[in-house]
A and B are shown apart, each in its own frame.
Chain A
């Protein structure tokens, strides 16, 4: 589905991605983990075409995405921090996003309702709290029923109720065989969802396997603990990791 081949990206002299090789398949949910600055967001943005790699190839459905844009029809993206035109009202934002993709008639507005965004529709974007903005970002990511979901820190800033709403939604969508890429620090939130883990450290992939294998390997029953063990074993410094 998504395949990265020797993807390298420099910011100035800093090598953010170093010959990243990665295959991601439909029906899987990948947890993209790694410390701050390990290249998670850069990797995601490379897939989206927002960051252009210095070398290497990114293929989606066996097509090179460099210079392309139509492949993004299949992607729903929820950014780490949702930045929106400040003066736009929420209703206008949704209307605009729908207006830009008139080919999708049957939009998925379930999250708008379950997040309770409807009463806030005529609020301007600048007046919304960080959490509400995250809800908007999540709703937008699901709006066009994409096949690939890329969620950058989806649970950060959301209240527990909203996290539950989002998780339920993810579980439901997962059943229909879609592909998810999720980065998160808060591993508990992902427990029931992720099937695979990709661990990124200093721009290269240090670990990539199914969660079951990971649990077997580390002899831990909980995902978060398994990871903690992994990190300890492999001496990969993650300081922000929240363990239960």
Chain B
């Protein structure tokens, strides 16, 4: 732990020594919060509290006993925090107001360094947790969900971070919002072990956020999958991207990304496993691509990417590109469609594999040609190509395809 954090922590301990514990069980909650001193603990008894606009200006610990409910009655923001060292824990926050101009949230924090939001349940919030200009926030173990909204503009994000750093987002479950987790200008942070499902737009939306990691998260069945854009030095490890299905849905969208690692992830049953444009120097290692429409769809604007030891199984198209991919490298991947042989028994095929098939190239050039998909003629084109590989451009190839799928079980769950 870094020194300023440690000092802050010591301060917190120092405060709590002389701090009071205030128990609330009636409608005095707003007054109690307003009058509490820094370092006080506010202990909320079980019950339903219809209130909102609770402004936290002192470093308080607000704890619920037996999940007390604070109901914003679709009118208010519930907690607004603009001070360091606040903890909000064990509460059930429901029904915030909705506004197209003010980002109403169940918990909104600005300049709230070391904020801890732990084990809360948020239901029907416009924004769930909305954090800006904050360092060291910890958002752990919250469940954030809401009823289906009419459109993605009628609802905010579940966990929203803006201009923050050193945040930890861990073990949260988010669903039903516009974006599950939203990062913009957030650096040196970790997103770990979260489950983001059925959000209207992205399970994770990630922009201008460098040197972050996200690990062992599950992004399932979101409107458009996960978007990671305009950033560098991002590590994406052991995540699951599954069932993101729709005409503009991706497992993972990489746009203008560079110098990042994508390791040991699973991309299952997405329209496109990875869609990338303008991205460079990303290493894709030991990922599993299975049952996707397109495992990887790469625009010509990508270069210096390396695909190594990935498994490609049961995808409709393994790789599609509108360019040549000549500036990218593929090696030692396992392709279930590979029909070559291995005479020297080194586990790598002796002939190269062409992961971009002719028909997918035609479709990239003339998108209307997709109408012939699944026709007998396209089937014949595919067969002809397998027997006469010379008809696909030479540079699109894995020169050492693996004969057997890799055992990639070292992943989450």
**Do chains A and B directly touch (beta carbons under 8 Å) in the complex?**
no
